[in-house]
Amino acid sequence: ATATTSSLPFAGKKVLVSAGPTYEAIDPVRFIGNHSSGKMGYALAEVLQQLGAKVVLVSGPTHLPVPQGVYTIGVTSANEMLEACKQEFETADITIMSAAVADYTPQQVASQKIKKDEESLVLALTKTTDILATLGKLKKPPQLLIGFALETNNEQVNAQHKLEKKNLDFIVLNSMQDKGAGFAGDTNKITIIDRNGEQQSFPLKTKKEVAQDICDYIVKKLHDQ
Ligand code: CTP
Ligand code: CA
């Protein structure tokens, strides 16, 4: 018999990652979206896979190639992302939600293309289900749940509030205060805020390096468990 032990830090772990934007249909040819590139989530999926994890990537529409060896589920809307994430979360050891999920979706999707008949148009929107908060309610220890927070102001307080409200183990605050950090670019400046009160700030780095830092932090938490 051959032993199949692995020294990789995520060997035997299933990790669920959400990435990218969601598109909320207005009519057959239009949607509400956002500028998320998906790069942060894809970088996480790639690094986790290289560190031995079984990675499931639930991705909204992006222009990125599917990472090698990563099981990728493509979704379009917030509701589709919710269903895929709920399904995969049950058997996930670690979950990282980096997707930029739409907060509101059209109350109804017009069955035909909306014509420009009127001088003004008001779209009625309803709030989407918070995927991360939903998973936070389903979480059973030792499952780890990690979120992101994108803030433009009052960032520490807002991120801390999300950490608690969504029952997370830690939250990755994406600082928009530095040029080069944020949605579409290749770099991010993050602060990790842990539910245990620990806080760690990192310098501006590439999204690949940021993914590495987040993975290192998770490995440390796995050792502490
Ligand atoms: N999130 C989610 N489902 C939603 C909205 C957000 O899973 N419907 C997740 C994001 O993937 C992210 C975290 O929640 O990990 C925080 O998202 P963010 O947009 O920063 O915060 P919100 O809770 O949506 O609050 P707001 O946009 O009002 O700041
Ligand atoms: Ca939001």
pLDDT string in tens for the chain (225-residue length): 555 567 999 999 999 999 999 999 999 999 999 999 999 999 999 999 999 999 999 999 999 999 999 999 999 999 999 999 999 999 999 999 999 999 999 999 999 999 999 999 999 999 999 999 999 999 999 999 999 999 988 999 999 999 999 999 999 999 876 566 666 678 999 999 999 999 999 999 999 999 999 999 999 999 998
Q: How do the domains of the chain map onto residue ranges?
A: 14-103+124-224
pLDDT of residue 179: 62
Which ligand has an atom closest to residue 148 CA? 1
Number of residues that this document lists for the chain: 225
Q: Is 159 in the pocket of ligand 1 (CB under 6 A)?
A: no
Give, in order, the Cα–Cα distances in Å from 36 to each of 22, 49, 156, 161, 203. Answer: 9, 22, 22, 23, 21
ipTM value > 0.95? yes
In angstroms, rounded to a whole number, what is the distance separating the alpha carbons of residues 74 and 61? Answer: 7
At 158 the pLDDT is: 96
Active-site residue, 154 included? no
Consult the annotation and say whether 140 binds a ligand: no
Any atom of ligand 1 within 6 Å of the Cβ of 139: no
Helices 131-138, 78-89: axis angle to 10 degrees equals: 20
| Three-class SS state of 223 | helix
| Ligand number with the minimum distance to the CA of 101 | 1
Atom of ligand 1 nearest to the CA of 150: 20
Query: What is the rounded distance in angstroms from the CA atom of residue 30 to the CA atom of residue 168?
Result: 34
CATH of domain 14-103+124-224: 3.40.50.10300
Residue having the nearest C-alpha atom to atom 24 of ligand 1 = 103
Residue 181 identity (one-letter amino acid):
A
Q: Which of 64, 67, 30 is nearest to 51 (CA)?
A: 67
Which of 152, 184, 158, 186 lies closest to 171 in space, CA to CA?
158
Give the CB-side neighbour count of residue 38, counting CA atoms within 13 A.
25
**pTM of the shown model:** 0.96
